[in-house]
Structure 1
């Protein structure tokens, strides 16, 4: 057999314009073209999924750089012998934790922190609730409530540095409080509130109570104003007294707010540093030494950075326990 001429074969392999247009239309209809709507939809969906990560990426990067990396470094330092001052630190395992947990100064700091924290939180709650109920009473006019709210809220407006300097001046042997005590004949030469070992812890606790109760007061006042009046009217119809209404209506309605604020205040107060450092510095004779000042002195007074890292990790673990309770309570509340 003879083969077809080359020109005829090429002509037979060519497609007519109608056939070419039909094939292009079929490809476009099937979504197989490079600029097809299906492909554009897939790419836009992929970009849309990445948008949330793009928005949170700056914050995530800052948290990683400023929080996770330092925390990881501190945890690593806690398992080494003295770092920074030692050019070749070695892994010592849990030796630093044993040394810190058996240190008498750590026990003193832990006990002082517990007393300082629990007393402050309890007083914050009681004073905040009392002042909130006073500001919520219908016996006062709106103008009087505004004035008292401003006065009661003033301590919360001051920074820790201002609070510390203010009370150091007031409690100074030549300060206003000692002047009043001497004038009234209650003291001969004044009282060293911040230098007397028997009074220093009570003095700094009082200062912290004074500076922190407005947070509870404002939050509880908002909670009181959100309680429906129908509950009190129903309790009055049932013959409940004022105390019974407070205990069976007010407290149950405020319980979620009270628990949340107490957990937050426990975390904040247990880590209080600036107020203690600027008033007593942990003295005299370690009677106001807290876990925060104990850790600071280990690092920047004794230059034992590994021991300071170990103490910081212990404080972190204690704070995380409180944080877990707070998160669980918030989830249960939601």
Structure 2
């Protein structure tokens, strides 16, 4: 492996730039050339790539987003599109590819590997929804972004004695809602993995009100339902003074935390080392504070177990 390509795909996540930096600098350290591919698989098919050097990744470890940009690409989902991508990679003498993204991006890396082109995946997604790894790049930063928002909303919620619903990202995975809700002291946390009842939410509000607390924070993962609709139901049952805040894409931005910078750096170096060892069709992750790698097919087939123990603990602490 003498020339490595790198791209970011799918939703951006804080820490992607740290991962790009780690791949580029470790590859150059080991005597390899590196090509950065702009706009993910779409840019690959359209030959939007350029050789990177040490200066290409200077002063980016602290920056959110991705300097390589990202996009969705329907054409790459077709066999014809993937063959064009492989042709481009070979045209530029690229021997292997590092893909930073979520499960959709990993499926693309798997398809390339099946076509005989070596690829390695790094988990870059704020949702933390990849079952094989304890943490994904960007998850920790996003939790801290949500906690910051909870703190600000609590200030005004307390002043006006209001109930606030804060909708966070997480269509199929409730990790952001769970951990930010626990760390932010939310009274109620609603996630896709656990069925909830509006009456239970209202009873909780009544209980906290009776003990003298006039404001409450409800964290809702977007995959459960519409925050505005939930708010209307709660108001109809309790007549509460209620506001809804949908955090949206503010959760994707911001300078990555130290945790995400370090995690991304370690994963980027491991990816390069795997490729130099002739290993491909693998993904890098973390378990029990150790950097691990495993077969990409096995990783994609795993089912994530929701942390019910932490969920129950959050309920206990919010009585």
| Structure with the higher helix share, 1 or 2 | 1
| Structure with the higher strand share, 1 or 2 | 2
Q: TM-score range by the shorter chain?
A: under 0.3
TM-score normalised according to structure 2 size: 0.22
Task: Give 1 or 2 for the bigger CA radius of gyration.
Answer: 1
TM-score normalised according to structure 1 size: 0.21
